[in-house]
Structure 1
Amino acid sequence: MYPVISMSHEVEQKLEGVQVYAINLDLDPLDEDNSQVSYEKDWHALHEVWQGKTKAEVVQTERITAYRNFYKLLGFNTKKTLPSVQNLIQRFLMKEKLDRIPVIHPIVDAVNIAAVKTLIPLGVFDANCVEGEISLTLSRGGETFQPLGYKEPEELAADVLVLADDQKVLSQFCYRDSEAQKIRERTRSIWLLGCQVPCVSNEAVYQALDEAQEQLKRVYKLTKR
């Protein structure tokens, strides 16, 4: 059982059947520079699963369909904006040859492996950036938000689904993370999140979060806060 992220009343009404489960973990590296850990074999194993599949076959996968429907509920065009797991599969794993591996950071890599293995989108961010409590809410409009990889902040429109703490927007939920909460080289405390949507059981999300922790244990000793 994992704690549930609180939602505003408006979000609860809009997203019936949706829950976001989370766990706050402290990380102690098993090897200070993480040089002994590689997820290359894991990506090659996943490539064997998806190699040669068509986009239609990926889209028709039951869990990917469920998260595409969730994206449609949020107002996204799923031909242009793909759920994260579908995006990873189509960008890297469908080709005949795995010519590029999405290596980012051991924390992000571990969570991405777990997400693709379980077909459950997972989120992870630096817990030290959080001020107060985390919740899912709708933007009022005009909040400052600097998307990951952007040099300058922008202002959000009203009624955008966001993950926020008491002081700031952390992400446009399931769409864009922020510079404020990104995983950094010295990140040692994280929030790990999994989103349950209609047609996906809470047990499936629990299993995905469990799998992410097993992958992280290859690099870190984990302590639950």
Structure 2
Amino acid sequence: MTELLPLLMRGTLVTVEIAALSTLLAIAMAFIATALKAAPWRPLRWIGNVYVEVFRGTSLLVQLFWFFFVLPLPPFNLSMTPFTVAIVGLGLHYGAYGSEILRGALRSVPGGQFEAAVALNISPLTRLRRIILPQAMINALPPATNLMIELLKGTSLVSLITLSDLSFRARQLDEATFETAKIFALTLVIYFVLAQLLATVMRHFERRVSHGYGVARGATK
């Protein structure tokens, strides 16, 4: 076990790096897609809808294979490293789901909040940043936490594009030592611990945001 664990930890570090960077990309894409789908111009709305439907409606594994095996071929001629493919593939895939979460959270904000902000002549950007978005984030955080955990588990697929993540290391060690039960039990525990750490951090952040919003609402009454 003392020999196996350090090797699995190397794969765990790669998994954490991929999960963190792809989560940042997914958050950015969720905001961009939501903004496109709410744009007043139809071509922008069409782009947002196509992005969400394509990445939400197709397999993550097939998307990774496309980025890794198909894009380097003509007529695309776009070659990326396995690490970049993992981040881009996971970020775009889960960003499409995140867009739907964010859109639903924005719609959950009472319409009276928007009307009151318009009546007070608050600029659209300030209205979004100070009134609408803070309330929407409270509703978006619980499903967003579940989506981040799904993204973390989805990183196991990147081993199929030759990345030495946790799953890749586990299979390597299994083939070399035949300690299948021990290796995959450790792998299971590591994924579980990572998911619990992520859930704990997000619950703490959710409490902070909810408390801050509650204090702000109390101050305005």
TM-score by length of 1: 0.28
TM-score (norm. length: structure 2)? 0.28
More strand by share: 1
Greater helix proportion = 2
